[in-house]
């Protein structure tokens, strides 16, 4: 391996920036959670467009070139930041649409009025529709990119972002979109943030290999780093807190679409928990999952930046 393109000191400054910016990150997450981007109900179509526009403008504010691209259904958000000098390009995928909030009567507070609450088990939590699935998780990646760019003016690898607005309604526009924009979206690997952790202190990686085959891997690693080898070998990954990381199986259709239409493998790194009540009343997201998720992405980007092109072999 050649000299890493990033150094440990660089990463630490990014992590410090994330820690100092915690409140701002929560404020931004609350802004998008206030938009009722329910894709399954036509009554919320304008809100879905608003959410897409919010995401694109947020990406531009960070330093990406980003736009909202129409489809027959809900628009896609596409963003690029290229110029890292790394041979690697990653495609990040997430979705801005959310499940309907019904039954509304079971919410203890309005679903699109995000708030912080104390959970007896989880501690401080964000309560809102989409807090965990998937706006909270999408924002972990955007916040990591924001801090990298704010501190260093660059990302460790080239990054393309694709945010979908129909994940909760079966992704009807996605196949044709990938056919039309495949060349633009193509990357060495896709990073998907729409899955779960094993538990509050144990992050999980799900690595899809070929087609619909996916692996269930258990890896134990040092307390800080993700080492190269995520392609063709198990990743050694440790999330915040130094717990061993455990990969577990999950299935979302986008991964198969990326493989069959773009020839790309996906790495699923999610920061949701089984008790987040996704798709149910009073959906919550642990503040710890949000802040540590962003820190994990900052580290993962750093590690990807240290790969000298083996991923392309």
Q: Which residues bind Zn ion (CB under 5 A)?
A: 133-134, 194
- Comparing CB distances to Zn ion, the nearer of 158 and 194 is 194
Q: How far apart are CA 183 and CA 69, in angstroms?
A: 15
- What's the token pair of residue 127? 């309560």
**Smallest gap from residue 165 Cβ to Zn ion (A):** 12
Q: How far apart are CA 84 and CA 149, in angstroms?
A: 11
Among 56, 300, 283, 17, residue whose Cα is nearest residue 157: 300
**Smallest gap from residue 171 Cβ to Zn ion (A):** 11
Reported as type and span, the H/E element at residue 180 is helix 174-185
- Comparing CB distances to Zn ion, the nearer of 99 and 236 is 99
**Smallest gap from residue 252 Cβ to Zn ion (A):** 7
- What's the token pair of residue 65? 């070139």
Are the C-beta atoms of 4 and 310 separated by less than 8 Å?
no
Among 242, 258, 241, 250, residue whose Cα is nearest residue 278: 250
**Smallest gap from residue 255 Cβ to Zn ion (A):** 12
User: Which of the 8 DSSP states describes residue 105?
Assistant: G
- Comparing CB distances to Zn ion, the nearer of 166 and 194 is 194
Q: Which phi and psi (to 5°) does residue 78 adopt?
A: -125, 130
Query: Beta partners for 199?
Result: 202
**Smallest gap from residue 133 Cβ to Zn ion (A):** 4
- Comparing CB distances to Zn ion, the nearer of 143 and 194 is 194
In angstroms, how far is the first alpha carbon of the chain from the final one?
Answer: 13
Q: How far apart are CA 172 and CA 193, in angstroms?
A: 20
- Comparing CB distances to Zn ion, the nearer of 111 and 305 is 111
Express the helix, strand and coil content of the chain in percent, nearest 5 each. 35, 20, 40
DSSP for 236-261 reads --B-TTSPBPB------HHHHHHHHH
**Smallest gap from residue 83 Cβ to Zn ion (A):** 30
**Smallest gap from residue 187 Cβ to Zn ion (A):** 20
- Comparing CB distances to Zn ion, the nearer of 15 and 267 is 267
- Comparing CB distances to Zn ion, the nearer of 194 and 276 is 194
């Amino acid at each position: 391996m050649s000299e890493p393109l990033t150094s440990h000191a660089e990463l630490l400054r990014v992590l410090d920036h994330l820690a100092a910016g915690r409140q701002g990150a929560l404020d931004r997450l609350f802004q998008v959670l206030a938009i009722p981007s329910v894709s399954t109900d036509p009554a919320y179509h304008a809100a879905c467009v608003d959410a897409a526009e919010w995401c694109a403008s947020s990406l531009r504010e960070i330093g990406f070139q980003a736009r909202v691209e129409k489809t027959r259904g809900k628009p896609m958000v596409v963003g690029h930041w290229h110029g890292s000098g790394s041979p690697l390009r990653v495609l990040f995928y997430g979705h801005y649409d959310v499940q309907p909030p019904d039954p509304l009567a079971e919410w203890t507070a309005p679903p699109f009025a995000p708030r912080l609450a104390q959970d007896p088990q989880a501690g401080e939590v964000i309560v809102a529709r989409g807090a965990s699935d998937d706006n909270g998780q999408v924002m972990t990646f955007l916040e990591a990119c924001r801090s990298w760019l704010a501190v260093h003016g660059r990302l460790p690898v080239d990054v393309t972002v694709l945010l979908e607005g129909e994940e909760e309604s079966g992704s009807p526009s996605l196949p044709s979109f990938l056919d039309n924009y495949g060349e633009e979206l193509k990357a060495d690997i896709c990073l998907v943030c729409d899955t779960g952790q094993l538990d509050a202190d144990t992050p999980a990686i799900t690595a899809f290999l070929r087609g619909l085959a996916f692996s269930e891997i258990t890896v134990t690693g040092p307390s800080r780093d993700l080492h190269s080898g995520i392609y063709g070998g198990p990743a050694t990954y440790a999330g915040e807190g130094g717990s061993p990381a455990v990969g577990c199986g999950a299935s979302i259709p986008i991964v198969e679409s990326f493989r069959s239409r773009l020839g790309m493998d996906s790495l699923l790194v999610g920061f949701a928990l089984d008790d987040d009540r996704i798709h149910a009343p009073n959906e919550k997201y642990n503040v710890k999952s949000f802040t540590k998720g962003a820190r994990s992405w900052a580290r993962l980007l750093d590690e990807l930046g240290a790969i000298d092109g083996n991923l392309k072999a």
